[in-house]
């Protein structure tokens, strides 16, 4: 019998005793990743910016495993994410897997000429800091026993898209950091990889994009119509790749895997 979506294949490695921290893990790809890691026995801690989002996540995770927990904190605030990581280490004994999955996206895709200086600043800061601060905060714990880091980024880093100049620039920064950190952290047996996403169903971004008529809703409506397989990837399909990189691909580091449903090819 084949495995159901989110379930490990026969003979998959047991993750019992491993601790996985997923920042931005209360919805979308982060939550789907937590669900898959929990099914394989890991202690899973998801984080979000509100208690309510954490409770909703646990309502999905706890029926699968009681070894699932939620913490409240903004990954883009250095002191907050550092304190949160300290709590996770104190409560669970360490961190083996970090999935940096969340960022606020306070400014969506917008033509560069229509962005104010403040928009530019906010677009960069709200996307890059929540992605990299958790990695720095978790580094002391990861150094203790090795482990893996997976960051979510965007395929706009590899394929220029109108309205996504800043989005793509931040994504490109994450891709290059993935390579650099993989080299730097290999001395402590820490692997670093990323997953580059396109528009993905079953995510908060999907809901936000199509909630109202806007530049980004028109942009992505056209994109949805162009997927060779007739639909975009789902959050669960992206999570499958994140879990592979986090837990299974022990000889893979410094890589960024695009999960784009064949919408585009190539890149760097």
Does residue 235 lie within any of the structural domains? yes
Does residue 266 lie within any of the structural domains? no
The domain of 112 spans 19-257
Phi and psi at residue 233, to the nearest 5°: -60, 155
Does residue 8 lie within any of the structural domains? no
Does residue 4 lie within any of the structural domains? no
Does residue 58 lie within any of the structural domains? yes
Per-residue pLDDT, 104 = 67
Candidate from 52-66, 101-115, 186-200 with smallest mean pLDDT: 101-115
CATH assignment of the domain containing 98: 3.40.50.720
Per-residue pLDDT, 1 = 37
Q: pLDDT for 6-43, tens place per residue?
A: 454 433 579 999 999 999 999 999 999 999 999 999 99
Residue 54 half-sphere exposure, CB side, CA atoms within 13 Å? 17
Q: How confident is the model at residue 177 (pLDDT cuts 50, 70, 90)?
A: very high
Per-residue pLDDT, 100 = 98
Mean pLDDT of 119-124: 93
Does residue 2 lie within any of the structural domains? no
Tally of domains in the chain: 1
Per-residue pLDDT, 267 = 60
Q: pLDDT for 38-89, tens place per residue?
A: 999 999 999 999 999 999 999 999 999 999 999 999 999 999 999 999 999 9
Per-residue pLDDT, 9 = 43
Does residue 263 lie within any of the structural domains? no
* CB of 39 closer than 8 Å to CB of 65: yes
Per-residue pLDDT, 3 = 47
Residue 268, pLDDT > 80, answer no
Does residue 141 lie within any of the structural domains? yes
């Amino acid at each position: 019998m084949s495995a159901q979506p989110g379930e490990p294949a026969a003979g998959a490695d047991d993750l019992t005793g491993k601790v996985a921290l997923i920042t931005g893990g209360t919805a979308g790809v982060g939550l789907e990743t937590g669900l898959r890691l929990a099914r394989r026995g890991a202690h899973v801690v998801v984080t979000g910016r509100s208690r309510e989002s954490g409770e909703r996540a646990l309502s999905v995770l706890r029926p699968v495993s009681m070894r699932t927990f939620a913490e409240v904190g903004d990954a883009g605030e250095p002191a907050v994410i550092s304190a949160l990581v300290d709590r996770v280490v104190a409560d669970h004994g360490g961190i083996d897997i970090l999935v940096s999955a969340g960022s606020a996206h306070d400014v969506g895709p917008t033509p560069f000429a229509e962005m104010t200086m403040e928009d530019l600043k906010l677009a960069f800061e709200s996307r890059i800091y929540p992605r990299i601060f958790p990695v720095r905060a978790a580094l002391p714990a990861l150094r203790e026993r090795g482990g893996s880091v997976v960051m979510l980024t965007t395929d706009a880093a590899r394929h220029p898209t109108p309205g996504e100049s800043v989005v793509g620039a931040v994504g490109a920064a994450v891709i290059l950091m993935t390579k650099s950190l993989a080299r730097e952290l290999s001395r402590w047996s820490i692997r670093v990889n990323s997953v580059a996403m396109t528009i993905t169903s079953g995510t908060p971004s999907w809901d936000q994009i199509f909630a109202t008529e806007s530049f980004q809703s028109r942009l992505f409506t056209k994109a949805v119509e162009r997927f060779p397989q007739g639909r975009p990837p789902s959050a669960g399909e992206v999570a499958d790749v994140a879990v592979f990189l986090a837990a299974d691909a022990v000889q893979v580091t410094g890589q960024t895997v695009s999960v784009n449903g064949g919408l585009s090819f190539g890149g760097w």
